[in-house]
Amino acid sequence: MNKNLFYIIAFAFYVLQSCFDKKSENSYKTSDVGFEYKYHIESKSQKFPQDSTMLFLQIRMFNERDSVLFDSRDVAPQFKDWFFTPVPADMPLHSMFAIMQEGDSMSFLFNARDYHRRINPHSVYIDSFAEHEKLRFEIKLEKIATEDEIITNLAKRMADKKLEEEFLLAEYIERNYPAAVPTASGMYFIQERQGSGNFAKPTDKVIIHYTVSYINGEPIYSTYKKVNPLKVKVNNPLLFPCLTEGLQKMRRGGRAIIIAPSKIAAGERGDAEQGIAPYTTLIFDVELLKIGN
């Protein structure tokens, strides 16, 4: 065979093989549920989502114009989602999770109308897509955790937070009020101004100004920034227990610093609505303006 002809044939074969490999690499398989999928990274960890497991994920959703419709990083740095079996019909995203293994990174194609129809048959998004338009999902399944693992990890984190609070509180007291002695509840009451008259009683209505901050001095809230001070009953169940206790140690015109560990402030689990983390000591600077109506 002519040597040049041999090289031409060999080169042509190489080009065809490369094209075939490229096509195979970019081709999608079709699942029983109807979506298409392909692997970027196939971990082969053999660890699949099971019933009542927590999935740690990265998810991005695109339309056919490659515009980002959803990015889990905009919701949380580490996006989490519970997985249950059997997978509900109205949770098409979870049907994609079901074929993944821990460590996998995959692309999915799902008919856009069908996807939104499964979530909500009356969704306004259904008609906003063309009949054959597809959504593309880029999903990375970083970790799968069982319920027991989550509970164990949470318990450890809470125990660590408790120890951290105790250390920071002891350090704060030693640095700022070394002679202070806590009450039976654990509250530290530092009288700044004595005031006059009788002590406030649990059933008294009082008018107070207060500022609350974290133990590092970062402010959280202050009534001084409002037009009027707070009017409240001393034993109002909506007050933190430390305020109810501390106000009963104060007279009209008095001012005090109340140092409250979490158990008598926002609680050991914190207050998510106010952005207060678990086991967080709070510092109140309270001024009792008036007792009674």
Q: What is the pLDDT of residues 220-235, one digit of tens each?
A: 999 998 878 999 999 9
Indicate whether 293 pLDDT > 90: no
Count of CB atoms situated within 10 Å of the CB of 290: 15
User: How does pLDDT run across 263-286, given as a tens digit for each residue?
Assistant: 999 999 999 888 899 999 999 999
Whether 133 and 239 map to the same domain: the answer is no
The pLDDT of residue 7 is 52
Indicate whether 38 pLDDT > 70: yes
Whether 140 and 167 map to the same domain: the answer is no
- Helix, strand, coil tally for the chain in percent (to 5): 30, 30, 35
- 199 near 250, Cβ under 8 Å? yes
| Residue where one domain finishes, among candidates 93, 120, 145 | 145
Domain total for the chain? 2
Three-state DSSP state, 270: coil
Q: Is residue 13 part of a domain?
A: no
Q: Please, what's the b/e burial string for 101-132 (b: 16 or more CB within 10 A of its CB; e: otherwise)?
A: bbbbbbbbbbbbbbbbbbeeeeeeebeebeee
24 or 170: which leads in pLDDT: 170
Q: Domain limits at 272?
A: 158-291
Q: Is residue 272 part of a domain?
A: yes
Whether 117 and 210 map to the same domain: the answer is no
**% of the chain with per-residue pLDDT over 70:** 91
| Residue where one domain finishes, among candidates 81, 112, 145 | 145
Whether 132 and 166 map to the same domain: the answer is no
